[in-house]
Structure 1
Amino acid sequence: MATGEDYERVRRDIPQHIKVSVLLAHKYQDGETNPTGWWMSEKYDGVRAYWNGRCFYSRSGNAFYAPSWFTEDLPKDMDLDGELFVGRKKFQSIASIVKKSEPQLWEKVRYYVFDAPHLEEQPFETRMKAIKDYFDKAKPGYAKFVVHEKCTGSDHVDKELKRIIDLGGEGLMIREPGSKYERKRSKTLLKIKKFHEAEALVIGYEPSKSNKDLTGALKVQMANGKEFKVGTGLSKKDRKSPPKVETIITYKFQEYTNSGKPRFPTYVGIRIDMTEPKDAEGVVTEATDD
């Protein structure tokens, strides 16, 4: 295992920022897409990470400096796309690990690989075979090959989504068979979740009613300018030391109220790869205001 000195050398020798373009998903809408024959896998609640043969980078191109022992058996001549993941319902943990210079914390992390961007013109099936062939040969210790299942129809999606949600997972991803790796948001890749997700800007705090030294809720602002509060989902640590003002956070919610604010918003964690808030797309207003 690498020493702290080795870790700092890695940080010195590898660029802190590069240009990265990744395939991004649209939201799955019932009735709009027939999922039969599409490739289905779990949507992991981790940090998106692009491996360029030397280092992990966020989708905005910022480096995640993993220790050398974590990456030593990853390919040097292949680009990989995946999620750095520590477990279901542990997004805050992985977000914290990738920001810190504490290599020992990476023992908890696994890199879940689901695509090979350098083969962008090849169909998805060819890209997956290339990844599997490498994994079968190299057997990387801290990376996992994401297995995709052929979807048999909408009922299969509903059943698998329920199974994943019951396990504490976030949702599903489905990919169009034969699709290329488009370095943009594409309808060849769809995400299926029970809740909507979005990003907001922290603008202030509301103290806890039971202890004024703790944060009861974050005051946040949507991309469209609307303001609301998020209190659910904050841990004891978050309430003692909440995200700083002007931090971007991710929250999840059920739908919009008549005034266009999220209903039952829940804090997910700090969004380390975004600098501006982003509202959810395709959300139907179904709830009246409280």
Structure 2
Amino acid sequence: MPRPPLALRHHTASTPGLSRRLSLSALLVSPWLTPRVGAQRVQPVDSGAHSGVQLAMPWPVGRSPQGFGVSEKFDGVRAVWDGRLLRFRSGRAIAAPAWFLSALPQVALDGELWMARGAFDRLSGVVRQTEPDDRAWRAVKYLVFDAPGHAAPFAQRMAFVQSALTQAQQPWLMPVEQHPVNDARALLARLQETVRQGGEGLMLHRADALWQPGRTDALFKLKPELDEEGLVVGHQPGQGRLKGQTGALLLQMPSGQRFALGSGLSDALRRDPPPVGAWVTYRYRDRTPSGLPRFASFLRVHESE
């Protein structure tokens, strides 16, 4: 039987240095951390799709990861459980089978519905059905990375998650393992190895941070290419070959700045573009001095929820 991916193992040993299990007590008393009650919030663009969940900011290149729990970034569908209902990030209920919902503990959880690396489209098709396909759902895992209703620092919240999910005793319900990483060089090595194995990138949770919604300095993402979400506020007409179609989407960034995104749009999307008010994800390499994305390319539309 093949071994599970590193970030999904509950109690297995791993490569020294890069993959030690997160030491909760060590992170909480790390001398690198300075005591503070919460994290400074950065306001995103106002959208119902962003309310009630914690969102990640891009990891600053070269920053020390000490005092953070590092885990794989799973390309799944965000799912929030309030102890009674399982919902998308937007707040719309997910039509999961009764056996799936009844096995979840009666505590608030935040995580990703996930199948496997590279299986996002298949997963999305399963979990967005209005009538659940019981057989298809048997391949879905719920990877939990936080307990938003638990009033404690992140490291203690993950200990709480571990305990709650262990009691549930479901192989498809598991905590996302967090690992300490010593320095920026080791973090880059871990990112490269994760991507080499087919992973999307890494997430970094500040171990001493209390939970709060929105974008905060408590949660970061690190990927070979950065990504961000933008609100469609208009369409620019195409020229030449694209005459009569959409040449670019006019997007509003979380900062409120606007720019035109044309790269990465398929011919089908140019003929039938995401409407004004839709949210899309785009990739980019870095930012200009004014904060606009360089070499931005369309990735996907957020499906209606």
TM-score for the superposition, normalised by structure 2: 0.68
> Deviation string for 1:43-67 (max 9, x for gaps)?
1112221101122223332222212
The aligned counterpart of 1:95 is 124
The range that moved more, 20-29 or 123-132, is 20-29
The aligned counterpart of 1:143 is 173
Q: Secondary structure at the match of 2:275?
A: coil
Work out the number of aligned pairs and report it: 248
Deviation at 1:243, TM superposition (A): 5.7
Where in structure 1 do 4 or more consecutive aligned residues deviate above 3 Å? 17-20, 89-98, 202-207, 216-219, 238-247, 255-267
User: Which amino acid in the other structure matches residue 55 of structure 2?
Assistant: L
* Correspondent of 1:115 among 117, 139, 146: 146
> Deviation string for 1:90-112 (max 9, x for gaps)?
43443343332241243332211
User: Which amino acid in the other structure matches residue 300 of structure 2?
Assistant: G
* Correspondent of 2:205 among 175, 179, 198: 175
The aligned counterpart of 2:262 is 229
Structure 2 gap segments, 5+ residues each: 1-47
* Correspondent of 1:255 among 286, 289, 299: 286
Change beyond 3 A, Cα 1:22–1:231: closer
Change beyond 3 A, Cα 1:205–1:144: farther
Deviation at 1:244, TM superposition (A): 4.4
Structure 1: distance between partners of 2:229 and 2:209: 29
1:82 and 2:115 correspond:
no
User: Which amino acid in the other structure matches residue 130 of structure 1?
Assistant: F
Deviation at 1:159, TM superposition (A): 0.8
The aligned counterpart of 1:268 is 299
Deviation at 1:263, TM superposition (A): 4.8
Contact 2:261/2:296 (<8 A) preserved: no
1:58 and 2:102 correspond:
no
Deviation at 1:172, TM superposition (A): 0.9
Change beyond 3 A, Cα 1:168–1:22: same
Change beyond 3 A, Cα 1:61–1:71: same
TM-score for the superposition, normalised by structure 1: 0.71
Q: Which has the higher contact order (CA 8 A, sep 6+)?
A: 2
1:73 and 2:95 correspond:
no
1:26 and 2:57 correspond:
yes
1:219 and 2:272 correspond:
no
Deviation at 1:23, TM superposition (A): 2.2
Q: Secondary structure at the match of 1:60?
A: coil
* Correspondent of 2:162 among 112, 128, 132: 132
1:160 and 2:190 correspond:
yes
Structure 2: distance between partners of 1:135 and 1:219: 45
Deviation at 1:179, TM superposition (A): 2.2
Change beyond 3 A, Cα 1:180–1:258: closer
> Deviation string for 1:70-107 (max 9, x for gaps)?
222111x2000101223333434433433322412433
Q: Secondary structure at the match of 1:222?
A: strand
User: Which amino acid in the other structure matches residue 104 of structure 2?
Assistant: L
Contact 1:220/1:230 (<8 A) preserved: no
Kindly report the root-mean-square deviation, in angstroms, between the aligned alpha carbons of the 2 structures: 3.6
Structure 2: distance between partners of 1:221 and 1:18: 19
Contact 1:62/1:273 (<8 A) preserved: no
Deviation at 1:228, TM superposition (A): 3.0
Change beyond 3 A, Cα 1:241–1:144: farther
Contact 1:203/1:220 (<8 A) preserved: yes
> Deviation string for 1:103-126 (max 9, x for gaps)?
12433322110111111x212222
Structure 2: distance between partners of 1:266 and 1:18: 22
Q: Secondary structure at the match of 1:149?
A: coil
Contact 1:70/1:142 (<8 A) preserved: no
